[in-house]
Amino acid sequence: MSGALVTGSARGIGRGIVLALAAAGHDVAVHYRRSADEAEATRAEAEALGVSAVALQAELTDRAAAQALVAEAHARLGDLFVLVNNVGNYLHKPLADVSLEEWDDVLATNLDATFVTCRTAVPLMRATGGGRIVNLGYAGAQQLVGRPNQTAYAIAKTGAVLLTKAIARAEAANGITANVVAPGVIESSATKPLGEVPAGREGRIDEVVAAVRYFVSPEAAYVTGQVLEVAGGWNL
């Protein structure tokens, strides 16, 4: 089965995605930055599902390291059919209080790293006849609404949506799809404004995972450039 790299997959949503892909028969690369023990545990869980699994460390704000991660995943797994960009630091802070370092970090982890990994993966996918790219977004990022406490994050995720749509259009003829899964308030979220969620509850990690799994599945081969919000009606 084809190889899959999930960034930030030692724990949380990323872990859920990598285990779901392993259960579907994909060989998987578990990426981590500092959580070596958790990454190894996730790798072992994935391998127990009957696939090959490797744990790879990289600091994705380092562009060379991000490129090397994709190349190593491709080499270790034998190919790279699936790339899921899950890494992205969240910041909830009044705009006037955001430091230059915080601004750079949010843009680097959510947008720049996504561009670099996609840019590196696309030629590899072309060479093997196609692939699936799924980028994790943010519910409401397409609305272009001012968000004074989440400005950097919202800008980065809106950028990721536009990047994904551009890749989808450019690579459709090459058998590569690119889509966005945009979570809202999830059980692992740093902030939980449940009063704004029409469904009245937080989402589960497995509900986000199911959306990613759909975009990777054979049934979604003709679906590209789409944003699927897993948000219980938030931001509608």
Beta bridge partners of 144: none
Cα–Cα distance measured from residue 178 to residue 85, given in angstroms and rounded to the nearest whole number: 11
Cα–Cα distance measured from residue 122 to residue 120, given in angstroms and rounded to the nearest whole number: 6
Q: Pick the catalytic residue: 32, 153, 214, 222?
A: 153
147 vs 85, 94, 192, CA distance in Å?
A: 23, 9, 15
Burial (CB count within 10 angstroms: exposed 0-12, middle 13-18, buried 19+), residue 129: exposed
Would you say 181 and 212 are in contact if contact means Cβ atoms under 8 Å apart?
yes
User: What is residue 4's three-state secondary structure?
Assistant: strand
Cα–Cα distance measured from residue 142 to residue 162, given in angstroms and rounded to the nearest whole number: 9
Would you say 57 and 32 are in contact if contact means Cβ atoms under 8 Å apart?
yes
**Residue 153 annotated to the active site:** yes
Q: Which helix (H) or strand (E) holds 106?
A: helix 100-107
- CA dihedral (108, 111, 117, 119) positive or negative: negative
Q: Which residues contact 97 (CB under 8 A, 6 or more apart)?
A: none
Which residues are catalytic, by number?
153
